[in-house]
A and B are shown apart, each in its own frame.
Chain A
Amino acid sequence: NAGVTQTPKFQVLKTGQSMTLQCAQDMNHEYMSWYRQDPGMGLRLIHYSVGAGITDQGEVPNGYNVSRSTTEDFPLRLLSAAPSQTSVYFCASSSRQGVYSPLHFGNGTRLTVT
């Protein structure tokens, strides 16, 4: 199993551009989520999904959209990139078979907005 796969690994955008960060998992996990990691801020939840067709907002959802059309994929869309969105983005998934299911993280996407 590949686990959680994120693409791209690095991305540079200009202010106002849009793009989609891809996330795919092959563990048949129901729960998927996106975090951003900034120095001194830890991991902050952007959006999450508990199954196909179901999404909800986390702590910092503004400027980001998500959709969950399949169990495997959970893309994160930046509608109009801003320098404040410069960060490292992690996708993570877990099983809903029990609440005691740890998160499995992808390798991250480092995004720079100039």
Chain B
Amino acid sequence: GENVEQHPSTLSVQEGDSAVIKCTYSDSASNYFPWYKQELGKRPQLIIDIRSNVGEKKDQRIAVTLNKTAKHFSLHITETQPEDSAVYFCALTSSGTYKYIFGTGTRLKVLA
């Protein structure tokens, strides 16, 4: 079945620095790639998503890039703040299946 590899598993950055999380997939039929943020003890919540016909999408301090040829997509957070500390999950799905497969998560710590 479809598999998503997410790296790194943990990431520590200084406040104000940038953070990048990368996910790699194998099924070329995948065409929707959301990212979720999960704070401690809370449910995952969507923060940004990208469709397969788009290479990059930005929303204030966060952006997602997609390289369909290499089959990877990345989350970029600029000017990190302590409230960005959480676990981030990448996910993907494809038309017709509606099955969402998740990466194993990245624990981001922003050090003040």
Contacts and interface: CB of A to CB of B under 8 A. Distances in A.
Interface of A: 31, 33, 35, 40-45, 48, 50, 58-59, 90, 92, 94, 96, 99-100, 102-103, 105-108
Given A31-B98, A45-B99, A99 B93 contact: yes
Given A42-B6, A43-B89, A105 B45 contact: yes
B61 interface: no
A33 B100 contact: yes
Interface residues of B, number: 28
Interface of B: 1, 6, 9, 31-32, 34, 36, 42-46, 49, 51, 89, 91, 93-96, 98-105
Contact of A100 (B32, B42, B43, B89): B32
Nearest to A96: B98
Contacts of B99: 33, 45, 48, 58
Contacts of A59: 1, 101
Given A33-B99, A40-B9, A45-B100, 8 more contacts: A43-B91, A45-B102, A94-B98, A99-B98, A103-B91, A105-B43, A105-B45, A107-B42
